[in-house]
Amino acid sequence: MGCICHLVQLARGCGIRALHQPIEEILSSIYAHFDIRWLSLLTCIKRVLNQWDALQAYFASHEDVEKPGKVKMLAEHLTSKKTKFFFLFPSQVLKPLAEFNAEGVMIHRLHQEMTSLVRRFMGRFLPASLIADVPLKDIKFKEASLQFPDKELFLGAAAQTFLEDNMDELSSSVPMMIK
């Protein structure tokens, strides 16, 4: 089966890639530009969101902003509402992964922790009544009729507010979340 933490990391990577936004590339480029060591995805996302306006102003006014390259790419991404939304969304969604086994290696609690993690994620798109006290293998998570409508999916408060405030600009970018 492999290392469970590695599998969680792979699942996180697949989830980020499914957003079809180069979040990791943008983070890496920002941090490489400032020569700051990579810490963790969630920590980096939070820091970039905290400094979004300053980063946007910095790259928009950089002397290389008109030249092809990373500075121009970053300036374009940092002015995109779509990119900001796709930073806000995982900043909330990745919290359970960051909290997973945060106390360190506790192999005796691995099954319990993994089950709790999976249930937390399922609770973002399935009613609690379908996942409470039901073995994970018996939960019919693939049945669309049992899932929350797209408009009721958990996005996190900041992402939801940003989406509502910028609905006109984002409606074509994230249509599944604003039907």
Contact criterion met (CB below 8 Å) for 85 and 173:
yes
The reported pTM is 0.69
Task: Say how far apart CA 166 and CA 29 lie, in whole Å.
Answer: 26
Stretch 125-129: mean pLDDT, rounded? 90
In the three-class reduction of DSSP (H, G, I as helix; E, B as strand; rest coil), residue 101 is classed as coil
Task: Say how far apart CA 102 and CA 105 lie, in whole Å.
Answer: 8
Q: Summarize the chain as % helix, strand, coil (round to 5).
A: 65, 0, 35
For the chain, the domains span 4-177
91 exposed, middle or buried (CB, 10 Å; 0-12, 13-18, 19+)?
buried
User: Tokens standing for 16?
Assistant: 């980020």
Give the position of tokens 């937390």: 120
pLDDT at 179: 44
Q: Which residue has the higher pLDDT, 78 or 178?
A: 78
Q: What is the mean pLDDT of the chain?
A: 82
pLDDT exceeds cutoff 80 at 20: no
Give the position of tokens 């604003």: 178
